């Protein structure tokens, strides 16, 4: 990994991943790929090159790959689960046609490709507790359909053409820098903003709904460590279960209340997000990631909560 293109560099994952890779690979070039309307700002803009790269425009991708002699592409362009239910054709276009553009360019220009999968690649018939690495994947959301197809297409390009594709199934990602948008797990970020601002939180997910979640530093570590892993140890490629914590709304609420005792929450369940959440695992088994490339998270709910509140206080108050 020397010259890296991050497509979707101004999004929730991309904004932090771009900075991490620039820090860890100072001898290479990390290009922040963005679409008009979400141009990079601040350090993201000043610390390295930025180029307009729409995943649905193969010429734009190829021009940037040629210009910077790119060897690794992180393809983070996606509509998240709740938005994808509203805009299924657009989600298909970005997630599938966009991926195909990238894989074709990777094939002809010898690039490695990381395209995230998600807990959304599972469905109601998947075992929900300790969800195995290799199991039933029959998702019922458009987001899930595109994520399973992403895994399959990425494996296809590896087996048929030798393209070095690798991926993880991300849980809901929690961070204090760039907010997510349109996801089912977004509540687990929004709850911290409400708590720090001293507002009551209206939770769109019903009590008792477990979902896998992860703090952003662990997610970034996974995205970098997997691409660094020795290929001979990888029995799986697209995509590894990775896990660090699983909780319900009432469990995260209690964890925040330990730090901010006056914090209040009530429920107003969103039926679209709830149906998606009910179809997803409660908790994934990440044994294969641990064995094949040494995956190990650093944060649990308590340490993440302390860190989130500290950083959000600095940012918001
Ligand atoms: C979403 O909620 O859509 C995403 C995901 C779990 O993939 N955060």
pLDDT digits (tens, 9 = 90+) for 41-83: 999 999 999 999 999 999 999 999 999 999 999 999 999 999 9
DSSP string, 109-142: HT-EEE--EEGGG--TTS--EEE-SS------SH
**Mean pLDDT of all residues in 220-243:** 97
Which ligand 1 atom is nearest residue 147's CA?
7
pLDDT digits (tens, 9 = 90+) for 124-151: 999 999 999 999 999 999 999 999 999 9
Q: Give backbone dihedrals phi and psi of 51, rounded to 5 degrees, phi first.
A: -140, 145
Q: State residue 1's pLDDT score.
A: 82
Among protein residues, the one with the nearest Cα to ligand 1's atom 1 is 183
pLDDT digits (tens, 9 = 90+) for 7-22: 999 999 999 999 999 9
Per cent of the chain over pLDDT 70 is 100
Distance from C-alpha of 25 to C-alpha of 227, rounded to nearest angstrom = 13
Report CA(212)–ligand 1 centroid distance (Å): 10
Q: State residue 13's pLDDT score.
A: 98
**Mean pLDDT of all residues in 275-286:** 98
Active site residue 143: yes
pLDDT at 202 over 90: yes
- Residue 12: CB atoms within 10 A of its CB come to 23
Report CA(207)–ligand 1 centroid distance (Å): 18
pLDDT digits (tens, 9 = 90+) for 69-122: 999 999 999 999 999 999 999 999 999 999 999 999 999 999 999 999 999 999
**Mean pLDDT of all residues in 259-275:** 98
Report CA(314)–ligand 1 centroid distance (Å): 26
Distance from C-alpha of 191 to C-alpha of 116, rounded to nearest angstrom = 24
**Mean pLDDT of all residues in 156-171:** 98
Distance from C-alpha of 237 to C-alpha of 158, rounded to nearest angstrom = 9
How does the average pLDDT of the chain come out, rounded?
98
Q: State residue 211's pLDDT score.
A: 98
Q: State residue 119's pLDDT score.
A: 98
């Amino acid at each position: 990994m020397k010259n890296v293109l991050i497509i979707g560099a101004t999004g929730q994952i991309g904004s932090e991943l771009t900075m991490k890779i620039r820090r860890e690979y100072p001898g290479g070039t990390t290009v922040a790929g963005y679409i008009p309307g979400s141009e990079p700002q601040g350090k993201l803009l000043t610390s390295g090159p930025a180029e307009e790269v729409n995943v649905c425009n193969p010429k734009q991708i190829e021009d940037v790959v040629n210009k910077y002699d790119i060897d690794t592409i992180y393809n983070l362009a996606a509509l998240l689960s709740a938005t994808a239910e509203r805009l299924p054709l657009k989600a298909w276009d970005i997630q599938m046609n966009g991926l195909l553009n990238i894989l074709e360019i990777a094939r002809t220009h010898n690039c490695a490709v990381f395209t995230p999968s998600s807990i959304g690649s599972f469905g109601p018939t998947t075992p929900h507790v300790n969800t195995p690495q290799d199991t039933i994947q029959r998702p019922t959301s458009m987001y899930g359909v595109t994520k399973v197809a992403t895994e399959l297409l990425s494996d296809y390009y590896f087996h048929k053409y030798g393209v070095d594709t690798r991926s993880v199934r991300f849980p809901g990602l929690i961070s204090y820098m760039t907010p997510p948008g349109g996801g089912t797990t977004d509540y687990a970020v929004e709850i911290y903003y409400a708590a720090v601002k001293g507002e009551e939180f209206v939770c769109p997910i019903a009590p008792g709904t477990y979902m896998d979640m992860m703090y952003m530093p662990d997610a970034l570590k996974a995205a970098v460590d997997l691409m660094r892993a020795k290929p001979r140890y990888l029995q799986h490629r697209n995509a590894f279960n990775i896990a660090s914590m699983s909780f319900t709304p009432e469990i995260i609420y209690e964890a925040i209340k330990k730090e901010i005792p006056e914090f209040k929450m009530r429920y107003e369940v969103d039926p679209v997000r709830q149906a998606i959440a009910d179809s997803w695992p409660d908790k994934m088994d990440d044994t294969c990631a641990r064995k094949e490339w040494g995956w190990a998270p650093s944060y649990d709910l308590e340490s993440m909560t302390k860190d989130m509140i500290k950083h959000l206080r600095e940012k918001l108050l």
